[in-house]
Amino acid sequence: MVALFVLVGLFPLAALAYLAISIATDAVTRQTNQHLSLSASVSAVYVGEQLQSLEGVVTSFAQRRDLLAAAGDGTADRMDLPPIQSSLNQLWTISPGVAGAFMVDTAGRVVAAAPARVPDLVGQEDYFTEWYHAVKQSRAPYVSSVYTSSATGAPEVIAIAVPVQRTATGGATEPIVGILVLEYASASIEHYTESLAGAQNVVVTVIDQYGTIVARHASEGPPDPAIVRAALRGKPGLTRAGVTEPELVAYAPIPATGWAVTAEIDVAAAFADVDRLWTTVPLLAGALALILLAGGWLLNVVLRSWQRAEAEIRRLAMVDSLTGLWNRRSWDTLLDRELVRAARDRRPLSVVMLDLDHFKAYNDQHGHPAGDRLLASAAEAWRGAIRATDVLARYGGEEFALALPDCSSANAAVIVERLRSSIPSGQTCSAGVAAWNGTESAGDLLARADRALYGAKRAGRNQVILASDDGAPPDRLAATA
């Protein structure tokens, strides 16, 4: 009877243990998938913005009047080299990650370089012909694969090549008179992947359009070729790869480059806690079967583990479920990132607080479901009216926050007016705009934008107010009767 009693008690306890471990396994799986997908997508956004920013800088140099005048008709012996060399010296020093810069004429000959080093023979390498012919054919900027430069002597770089061409009357472009090239060290991208690997416990790999590894943690071996092929298909995804050492891999494309980012984690490491449960729980179940009351304790331990996993998954949720915009937690993180970038690059940054006018009255009149639909419609309209680099978030209730990198307060006001005109159903909104002064914290910047917003509401709503420096009254920019 005692043996039967123990067996009767053991079966439900074993079933509960198995169920709890299965739940924990499912929770860890979902958490790992979300974690990897987020790491891959965030890394792709970061690298893409980095390359896009550099491309914009090179393009601005290529369109300078002094450089266009010095380039002449694109023939090396007719070029005015001192102004070209001066521009290259400036371009070389714009960022610590820039390894060098040089300019070639229409025949593909290097006419000047910074640092000042022009080899006797250059232009026959595969990497050279890659970007040279790509720019010549498309007459558009091009990001190359990784190579070792013979123009500047820098190892492991990528070329950001931009055509030098004048713009004729009417906006049409004239023939190319040269190509301006910035060489960016892949080590700068690798620093980011290594820091992310240490912080998030994942292996991040950046792959160029030909499958060459741009950046990967030095202690890791090369990625599985199947992972590289899957990443270069140009679509985000999640897969399981490897035989001897299985891995979970998420990958995301870097827009407009043909590059891709992968985020990997070892399956054994990801499920180490679950594997330990499979070893220890049966032993505990056999001992605790003698005291059935202890089964509740075991279930409580496993459920707590499951709850911790669920809490971690919720922490990773960064998007507002109603509008599909970034939520408040994500906004705080992304605003801090934009402030760091603005300080590093010495570029302007504006923050906007928006509030749908009389939203409570709208809810009272039309009902909360209609109010939810209005919020979602406004968010969708605004998302289509801003740039890919802008950060739009639902701050709370009917309040939204918008960060506009590389945007002065005057330009921000123009963008806000475009947002106000795009709200469906004739709904109006009030907005406060604050431009970062270069030293204030995220909290102070938001506070100024918020005060400007409440100034717009006190002034009668349906208008935009530009925040002045602390101590000065805000400026009223626009209002609609």
Task: Please report, for the chain, the start and end positions of each structural domain, with discontinuous segments joined by +.
Answer: 1-180+269-317, 188-268, 328-479
Residue 401: predicted pLDDT = 96
3-state secondary structure of 422: coil
Residue entry with tokens 């921000």: 412
Q: Encode pLDDT of 276-287 as tens digits.
A: 666 776 666 666
Strands (E), 108-171: 110-114, 142-147, 157-167
Residue 198: predicted pLDDT = 64
Topology of the domain comprising 328-479: Alpha-Beta Plaits (3.30.70)
Contacts 24+ apart (CB under 8 A), 436-441: 436/339, 436/342, 436/348, 436/349, 436/350, 436/351, 437/469, 438/343
Lowest average pLDDT, out of 160-169, 239-248, 301-310, 384-393, goes to: 239-248
pTM across the whole model: 0.49
Which CATH number is 1-180+269-317 given? 3.30.450.20
CA 295 centroid distance within chain: 47
Which CATH number is 188-268 given? 3.30.450.20
Which residues touch 313 (CB under 8 Å, ≥6 apart)? 27, 30, 31, 34
Is pLDDT of 480 > 50?
Answer: no
d(CA 98, CA 160) in angstroms, rounded, equals 11
d(CA 23, CA 26) in angstroms, rounded, equals 5
Residue pair 446/349 in contact (Cβ under 8 Å)? The answer is no
Residue 472: predicted pLDDT = 41
Mean pLDDT, residues 236-254 taken together: 69
Is pLDDT of 313 > 70?
Answer: no
CATH fold match for the domains 188-268 and 328-479:
no
Mean pLDDT, residues 203-217 taken together: 83
Top mean pLDDT of 13-17, 241-245, 249-253 is at 249-253
d(CA 130, CA 52) in angstroms, rounded, equals 19
| Inter-CA distances, 421 with 4, 278, 296, 369, 433, Å | 76, 59, 60, 23, 17
Tell how strand 142-147 and strand 157-167 pair up.
antiparallel
Residue pair 433/467 in contact (Cβ under 8 Å)? The answer is yes
